[in-house]
Amino acid sequence: MTDSEEESFVRLPDELTLENSSPEMTPEHLQQEIEKYKAPPCLPDREMLFKGHVTEAEDVNALVVAPRIQRALPGGSALLTFEEPEVAQRILEMKQHEVKLDESAGCEGRVRVQAEPVELLLPSALEIELKLSDRCILLSSLPRLDLSEEQLLDKLELFFSKKKNGGGEVEQRELLSDSGHVVLTFVQDGVAEQLMKKGRIQVPIGKQTYELKVTPYMSGQITDLQVRPSVCAKTVLLSGIPDILEEESMRDALEIHFQKPSRGGGEVDALGYVPVGGQALAVFEEDTD
């Protein structure tokens, strides 16, 4: 793996609750989150592949138009993304694979795993009716501070509620956990517009002053969503992996086996493994290669 891939890979937690997670992007989930995001009127078809990223279940409702598709990955399974689609196709055609275990890991013999294609539902068309909020602003370029969410929001509300700072009474404030941006809603009309004209505002937080960016906040409603089934060309799902090795040792054994051309394999671009008893979300991104 490259340095960037190592940095982007997150170790899978032992246990995650995925009762409400789903690999499918439903209109209900999109509708709930759309007020936090901007999106173009349509999305072209895209090839998707797993690049080694995983995320916890609490992030499953995030809408990223890139797109990033999240799929539940159960225990005793792994995702392999190869550099070449021909390799993935060979692995799928063979179906059953016997993986030799490393004797140095304290476990001899072989394990049999099943190779299956990875099927996803991708958005093929998305139409959104966007509306500019008259009383909301979006604050970005926020610094990383040793403050709780409530402390940060309190300081921002105090500053922007003062007329001498160009603000007014704040009706609602919200920290967007995915981006770290803050949305402020004012009671009176016109306050947000005047702040947005400034573009950037010097805001004292603690003993320092920071320049925050002020931009419009868009809300909207989904008017049409179309999805299409798609099979990942470079990614393969391995299932039936027994719990007989430590996580790192099993990952190494899988990577070594599926990199060998004599076993139908090839260069592995990313690998995500979940031991028996664990669960995670695999994140699929657009294939830009």
CATH code, 185: 3.30.70.330
Domain contains 254: no
The β-bridge partners of 111 are 99
pLDDT at residue 218 in the model: 82
Domain contains 261: no
Domain contains 188: yes
Domain contains 157: yes
Domain contains 212: yes
The total domain count for the chain is 1
Domain residues for 166? 129-220
Domain contains 226: no
Domain contains 204: yes
Specify whether the CB–CB gap between 96 and 112 falls below 8 A. Answer: yes
pLDDT at residue 108 in the model: 66
Domain contains 166: yes
pLDDT at residue 40 in the model: 41
Pairing label, strands 200-205, 77-82: unpaired
Q: What is the pTM of this model?
A: 0.51
pLDDT at residue 139 in the model: 94
pLDDT at residue 182 in the model: 93
pLDDT by residue for the chain (289 residues), tens only, comes to: 444 443 333 334 444 433 444 444 555 555 555 444 444 444 444 565 666 666 554 444 444 455 678 888 899 999 999 999 999 999 999 999 999 887 555 566 788 999 999 998 887 887 888 778 889 999 998 888 888 999 999 999 999 999 999 999 999 999 988 788 999 999 999 999 999 999 999 999 888 999 999 999 887 778 888 888 888 999 999 999 998 888 898 999 999 999 999 999 999 999 999 999 888 888 888 776 6
What 3-state class would DSSP assign to 198?
helix
